[in-house]
Amino acid sequence: MTNFYLNTSIENIKGVGPKVKIQLEKIGIETIQDALFYLPKSYENRTKITKISDVEPGNAYQIEGEILESKIYYPGRRAFYAKITDGTGFIQIRLFFFSNPQANAFIKGLKIRMYGVVRNTGNKLEVFHPSYKIFTSNQRPPLDNTLTPIYSVGSSKISQFRLRNIIKNCINKIPSEDSFEKKIDEVFYTNNISEFSIKESLQIIHSPSVKDEILKIKNFSHPAQKRLIVEELLTNLIGVKISTKRIDKLISPKIIKSEASLKEFKKNLPFQMTKAQVSVIDEITNDLNQIKPMRRLVQGDVGSGKTVVAAAAMLSVAKSNFQSVLLCPTEVLAEQHFKNFSQWMKNEKIEMNLLTGKTKKKEWEKINEGLISGKTKILIGTHSVFQKRVSLNNLALVVVDEQQRFGVKQRFEILQKTSQNLMPHQLFMTATPIPRTLAMTMFADLSVSKIDEMPPGRNPVLTSVMSNTKRDELIERLEVICKNGNQAFWLCTMIEESENLDVQTAEASKKWLEEKSSNLKVGLVHSKLTKNQKDKAINEFREGTIDVLVCTTVIEVGMDVPNASLMIIENAERLGLSQLHQLRGRVGRGPDMQAHCILLYEGELGETAEARMSAMKETNDGFKISEIDLEIRGSGEILGTKQSGGMELKIADLIRDAQFLDKSEKLARELKDRPELVDLLMSRWIGKKEDLIAAQ
């Protein structure tokens, strides 16, 4: 009996035509199984209406009432206001992004039902950008009878409503009798992990009823979640074992260690390397000198100088006449590295290319020729491009920068790129420390090097926290900084994962800055600009013709502008601690400067957000930050954002769920000799079956 039914195309589901299919692909859903395991990032409780007199600011509620008044007004930017009552109190709605028809629909006397986080502003209750429905009193819509799952949709145009229905249809397709699914269920029953079948577990997680104990779900302590968490962990453990076994059978090119060329390289750098950098380079070049494939992680805090370490390793490879690639998470970062490498190696005759999503076809063909012939020695590019379009035949080293993901999927991807049993060495660079339990299980196949020292002359960035209502005070500060020849980032954070609102906030902030000060030259970078527009702004910022760069989180990782001394983060309360630390690390990179970071927040700070802000004020040490992050995260507030732990997992969080690792190991051992089940588990949690086979 073979049973890969759930692995068939999502097209087989009612409601998925060619157009929807394309939108689903954007969020990684290609099969029925992909949809089933596309788990909600949060839930909304729209099963009941809360009286205005009962709300506690800081929480989300569904509220229903009558529209009393509404108006468009201009507090620096165009805004909308409406006032509602349900007889027990008053609440106001505020929108910054709205159309005129939208505003006109708020007619006095009509009813409105809305859902959103209630805040307390100036003694008034307020909901900012709620989701809502306006209706007349005889058209009252029914209440939901399950919690409403919210999925992250990124840049996909699929609506929550449609996605919810598609997933519901998929759950109904899970076979219940006589199937591999059932056999896996049994393993969980007999080991007393969970009494829930996969079907029940998914049902509960995608649409929990109120009695399903939402608190448990929010804390990831519901047995239905445990079932999925353990299943995912054990599958990944099996995956690590399989990929390690395969990799161990392969050999890597032996790279000759040339002290002379390293010495020359160091001599041409504009700075002297730290002891830590030198010793990490030594560890890497020793590894590269073996035919045993290297899998090494370089861990160093933001700003510790990991890039130059990668450059030294890649130079050694080039000198041995082999190729290496440097993979970056963003184009901005790839371009920056390319510039730095070109500068650092300008005395070497090494063919080096940059390849990103924006590289023109003609140019790309030329680059590819160079790669195939072996003429090109160093390739710098983005992950996505490398996965899709590159084949190198002389590849000896892959460096992955700002790697927060060391997933099993990545392990297989790299295996796919190997030819003739020649495995490239691998080097990962990260600012996120890996906890000990994980180093011993999921990452048992990685060696770790630490850059535990900062370049000299770096002062810790001073951080302060400030209410957005005082933002006018920042203008003078910005003017002083820029007059002294320094520069500032003004960062706008995401609203509810919506890229569009993100972009609009950035545009509004740029306009606001320009209106408030005629002395500041303000630039703008966000995801909706063309490459040329982005390049122009970033280059002008680097060169100093722009004083303030307003941007979205595109700059989050890696960006390096040594002259920038101030980082302002709008709506910092929305960001996780490690992300804040990454962002702060964008300033104070030049020697002997005092850099500052200002965290702006809107409304009132919740307990956890407050704790994050104080942690940022207290320390600049990435290790401490990640420790505090773990403590705070225990509360389960940031549902669905698995921000650390180092693997890209669907539901498990290696840190939160470390308690389950032992059990998962045991099950992994038990299951590993049942290939039919392993196949199903691997395709379910790690990747398409064809991809995994291709990697064999």
d(CA 401, CA 601): 31
Asked if residue 300 binds Mg ion (CB under 5 A), the reply is no
d(CA 358, CA 345): 24
Asked if residue 330 binds ligand ADP (CB under 6 A), the reply is no
CB of 594 to ligand ADP, least distance (A): 17
Interface map 539-558 toward Mg ion (x if CB under 5 A): -------------------x
CB of 70 to ligand ADP, least distance (A): 48
Our CB check for ligand ADP shows the closer of 212 and 452 to be 452
Asked if residue 273 binds ligand ADP (CB under 6 A), the reply is yes
d(CA 131, CA 18): 29
Instruction: For the segment 135-194, give every residue that binds ligand ADP (CB under 6 A).
Output: none
Q: 400 - beta bridge partners?
A: 327, 428
Its sign, for the CA torsion 125, 128, 132, 135, is positive
Instruction: For the segment 407-446, give every residue that binds ligand ADP (CB under 6 A).
Output: none
Asked if residue 308 binds ligand ADP (CB under 6 A), the reply is yes
Residue 111, by phi and psi: left (phi above 0), alpha (psi -120 to 50) or beta?
A: beta
d(CA 108, CA 83): 9
CB of 558 to Mg ion, least distance (A): 4
Output phi, psi for 601, to 5 deg. Answer: -130, 155
Q: Which stretch binds ligand ADP (CB under 6 A): 56-64, 237-245, 265-273, 683-691?
A: 265-273
> Nearest CA to 498 among 162, 146, 131?
131
Asked if residue 578 binds ligand ADP (CB under 6 A), the reply is no
d(CA 694, CA 246): 13
* 542 CB-near residues (< 8 Å, 6+ apart): 561
Q: Which stretch binds ligand ADP (CB under 6 A): 165-173, 296-304, 382-390, 410-418?
A: 296-304
Asked if residue 585 binds Mg ion (CB under 5 A), the reply is no
Which partner in ligand ADP, Mg ion, none is near 253 (CB below 5 to 8 A by kind)? none
Residue 663's SS3 state is: helix
CB of 460 to ligand ADP, least distance (A): 15
CB of 620 to ligand ADP, least distance (A): 13
CB of 271 to ligand ADP, least distance (A): 4
Helix (H) or strand (E) holding 493: none
Which partner in ligand ADP, Mg ion, none is near 463 (CB below 5 to 8 A by kind)? none
Asked if residue 329 binds Mg ion (CB under 5 A), the reply is no
Whether 380 contacts 334, CB under 8 Å: yes
- In this structure, the number of other CB atoms found within 10 A of the CB of residue 595 comes to 23
Classify residue 251 by its DSSP letter. Answer: B
CB of 306 to Mg ion, least distance (A): 5
Asked if residue 337 binds ligand ADP (CB under 6 A), the reply is no
Q: Which stretch binds ligand ADP (CB under 6 A): 267-275, 463-471, 539-547, 570-578?
A: 267-275
For residue 373, the Cα-to-chain-centroid distance in whole angstroms is 36
- In this structure, the number of other CB atoms found within 10 A of the CB of residue 651 comes to 21
Asked if residue 303 binds ligand ADP (CB under 6 A), the reply is yes
Using CB under 6 A, which of 534, 589, 642, 684 touches ligand ADP? 589
CA distances from residue 408 to 234, 309, 446 in whole angstroms, order as listed:
12, 25, 12
Interface map 369-398 toward ligand ADP (x if CB under 6 A): ------------------------------
Asked if residue 271 binds ligand ADP (CB under 6 A), the reply is yes
Beta-sheet pairing, 395-400 with 425-430 = parallel
Asked if residue 302 binds ligand ADP (CB under 6 A), the reply is yes
| Total of chain residues touching Mg ion, rule CB under 5 A | 1
Whether 37 contacts 10, CB under 8 Å: no
Q: Which stretch binds ligand ADP (CB under 6 A): 216-224, 298-306, 347-355, 373-381?
A: 298-306
CB of 337 to ligand ADP, least distance (A): 9
Asked if residue 487 binds ligand ADP (CB under 6 A), the reply is no
For tokens 């002294």, the residue is: 484
**In this structure, what is the dihedral angle of CA atoms 475, 477, 479, 485, given to the nearest 10 degrees?**
-150
Asked if residue 562 binds ligand ADP (CB under 6 A), the reply is yes
Residue nearest to ligand ADP (CB): 305
Q: What does the radius of gyration of the chain's CA atoms come to, in whole angstroms?
A: 27
Q: Which amino acid is at 418?
A: T
Asked if residue 307 binds ligand ADP (CB under 6 A), the reply is yes
Asked if residue 551 binds ligand ADP (CB under 6 A), the reply is no
CB of 625 to ligand ADP, least distance (A): 14
CB of 46 to ligand ADP, least distance (A): 43
d(CA 362, CA 368): 10
> Nearest CA to 643 among 689, 579, 547, 588?
579
Asked if residue 455 binds ligand ADP (CB under 6 A), the reply is yes
Write out the residues near Mg ion by the rule CB under 5 A. Answer: 558
Write out the residues near ligand ADP by the rule CB under 6 A. Answer: 271-274, 277, 300, 302-308, 455, 558, 560, 562, 589
